[in-house]
Amino acid sequence: MTTTKSKVVYSPTFTDGAEFQIPTFKLLKQDGSLYKGGKAPALKKDKALRIYKAMVTTRVLDERMLAAQRQGRLSFYMQCTGEEASVVGSTAALDDADMIMAQYREQGSLAYRGFTIDEFMNQLFGNEMDYGKGRQMPVHYGSSKLHYMTISSPLATQIPQATGYAYGQKLAGKGHCTITYFGEGAASEGDFHAALNMATVHRVPVIFLCRNNGYAISTPSVEQFAADGVAPRAYGYKMDVIRVDGNDILAVYEATQAARKMAVEENRPVLIEAMTYRLAAHSSSDDPSGYRSKDEEAVWREKDPILRMQRWLQKKKWWSEDEEKQLQESLRKEVLETMKRAQKRSPPPLESLITDVYDKVPPALNAQFEKLKTHIRKYPEAYPKSANDAAITSKGGA
């Protein structure tokens, strides 16, 4: 058995660590210029524009779909607004084959990796082309081809799952890692601590990225913890940690790139605390005016991560106002047209209701399915035509 050597004292000595505060890594000012002494990461123009377009796509999608929810066209929605740099910047620093285990506000990761507007809409409306076959709430995306694990509603479950998946990646030895996203509220769950402990004990290639946006729904950070944020918790598990300005796309990108190198090459798990702010409500069910002021929001609107990157791109002559206008117009048009098509698509086939869980559908489940079809035949006016047709023609299960 090995033991850790520590400093020995001969009288009671207490410390709460308050004398030390973890610094925040920054590179990019809000006007698009670099801080003195800061050096931009080696981002080529095509990749920088891929990042920026993913951020703008996410913002436009969020604006339009929240409006659709308010119109009663969609049951629920969650926006990434204000946190795009934390999400897209970190995703861009990974290999596209690395696994992403998201919480529920990381649609920017999918946008960066090529998830189409059509794919977003199919999931949101739960139609026949939805990969989840209508079984999930809106914004609970998943894509096996893009290495994005399907989102689960229960808070923080993805964090220990990321550790376990990364352990498998370590055994496979193919040079990949897992990143898992969560908020500072989720970091108060026991799953967070179990995951960090397992990750360091087994030395697995996982990056824990905490989006510290100041609120766990309506609970402010000061009512969640008394310490210096989430980052110091890494010390208790002997884990490498960095705090970064989550609205600074260049800092997020560089920090994640360095974290990935440590994770993949040395099997050293890393915790990143991205200091950011959600400019929107927690979800379409939330009203932030009940727990934060307009003045507070205004301060953070001045720190908009998209505007910050846009100004940096313009200073480098990689982007123009005309290109911005064209991008905004084309995205808004695409989102509206795609939404209309997705709404008109049929729901998933009735038979898909009992597939994908068992290799062979068990008799008890088949019996329940037969009762459902009988019910539909009895009340056909309450169900879509496709369900009625399936209830009439389908015999004996899926």
Q: Give 168-224 pLDDT, tens digit per residue.
A: 999 999 999 999 999 999 999 999 999 999 999 999 999 999 999 999 999 999 999
Asked if residues 195 and 160 have their Cβ atoms less than 8 Å apart, the reply is yes
C-beta neighbour count of 207 within 10 angstroms:
27
Asked if residues 373 and 394 have their Cβ atoms less than 8 Å apart, the reply is yes
Cα pseudo-dihedral 160, 149, 153, 273, rounded to 10 = 60
Domain span at residue 315? 24-32+42-344
Residue 292 known to be catalytic: no
Same domain, residue pair 315 and 368: no
Same domain, residue pair 306 and 374: no
Q: Does some domain include residue 17?
A: no
Same domain, residue pair 246 and 358: no
DSSP alpha helices (H): ranges in 11-152? 45-70, 84-92, 107-113, 117-125
Catalytic residue among 176, 260, 268, 278: 278
Q: Does some domain include residue 386?
A: yes
Rounded CA gap, 250 and 299, in Å?
21
Asked if residues 204 and 160 have their Cβ atoms less than 8 Å apart, the reply is no
Catalytic residue among 147, 233, 268, 282: 282
Same domain, residue pair 310 and 356: no
pTM: 0.94
Beta bridge partners of 271: 208, 241
Q: Does some domain include residue 163?
A: yes
Residue 278 known to be catalytic: yes
Rounded CA gap, 100 and 84, in Å?
15
Same domain, residue pair 206 and 314: yes
Interacting residues of 305 by C-beta distance below 8 A, sequence separation 6+: 55, 82, 83, 84, 85, 86, 246, 247, 248, 249, 276
- Kindly report the CATH number assigned to the domain that includes residue 58: 3.40.50.970
Question: Structurally, how many domains does the chain consist of?
Answer: 2
Rounded CA gap, 101 and 306, in Å?
23
Q: Does some domain include residue 236?
A: yes
From 55, 59, 37, 39, select the one nearest 47 (Cα to Cα): 55
Catalytic residue among 35, 291, 301, 358: 291
Residue 282 known to be catalytic: yes
The tens place of each residue's pLDDT in the chain, 398 residues long, gives 555 566 787 878 777 777 788 999 999 999 999 999 899 999 999 999 999 999 999 999 999 999 999 999 999 999 999 999 999 999 999 999 999 999 999 999 999 999 999 999 999 999 999 999 999 999 999 999 999 999 999 999 999 999 999 999 999 999 999 999 999 999 999 999 999 999 999 999 999 999 999 999 999 999 999 999 999 999 999 999 999 999 999 999 999 999 999 999 999 999 999 999 999 999 999 999 999 999 999 999 999 999 999 999 999 999 999 999 999 999 999 999 999 999 999 999 998 999 888 999 999 999 999 999 999 999 999 988 888 888 887 554 44
Q: Does some domain include residue 274?
A: yes
Rounded CA gap, 187 and 334, in Å?
37
Q: 244 in helix, strand or coil?
A: strand
